[in-house]
Structure 1
Amino acid sequence: MLRAEDEFASISKDPRIAYALWAVLGIIGGHRFYLGDTGRSIAMLFTLGGLGVWTLLDGFFVGRRVRTVNHRRRAAVMARHGIIEPANPRHG
């Protein structure tokens, strides 16, 4: 269990970093690159954040996206180590 927790800690994403990237590089999708959303990042890069619209909207959703990414990564790590956790009611 400790090995799995260590592995997850090394790959989990920090919401403070995601928000900082959104604030500084949001128009070119920096926060989405950080979270691994490569396709959307490239779309934001070439459209300047959907002319700023996607960038503004992402400000409301960055925290939720970080939680979703971390939840999926944690589930994958735990599954690799044969640890089954109960489903989180907020994330299904």
Structure 2
Amino acid sequence: MRAEAEFASVRKEIRVAYALWCVVGLIGGHRFYLGDTGRSIAMLFTLGGLGVWWLLDVFFVARRVRAVNRTRRAAIMARHGLIDA
């Protein structure tokens, strides 16, 4: 139960990521939210790859959020000595 509570506190939301993509996507705001610092900085200095990366990200944001959540959950469960079902 403690592990699930810890995961809930660090879990990323797809709706928030898409909202950030809409508002500050050209400068990589959604990537900063997901912890992709290198790509975020690249998007910041190239204005989302002149808009190309920004437009392509609409298809990949949800998948990236799920991958980040899966990785974080596995790390938390491992730290608590639990097996992820």
Identify whether the pair has TM-score above 0.5, normalized to the shorter chain: yes
Q: Percent identity?
A: 76
Instruction: Structure 1 unaligned segments of length 5 or more: list them.
Output: 87-92
Aligned-CA RMSD value = 0.5
How many residues end up aligned between the 2 structures? Answer: 85
One-letter code aligned to 2:8: A
Write the mapping of 1:69-88 to structure 2, written as runs, cut at 5 A: 69-86=68-85
CA shift digits 1:11-56 (9 cap, x unpaired): 0001000000001111000000000000000000000000000000
More helix by share: 2
Q: 1:67 and 2:66 equivalent?
A: yes
Using structure 1 for the length normalisation, give the TM-score: 0.91
Q: 1:49 and 2:48 equivalent?
A: yes
Q: CA deviation at 1:58?
A: 0.3
Instruction: Structure 2 unaligned segments of length 5 or more: list them.
Output: none
Runs of 4+ in 1 over 4 A off after TM superposition: none
One-letter code aligned to 2:29: G
Using structure 2 for the length normalisation, give the TM-score: 0.98
Whole-Å Cα distance in 2 between the matches of residues 24 and 61 of structure 1? 17
1:58 corresponding residue in structure 2: 57
Q: CA deviation at 1:85?
A: 1.5
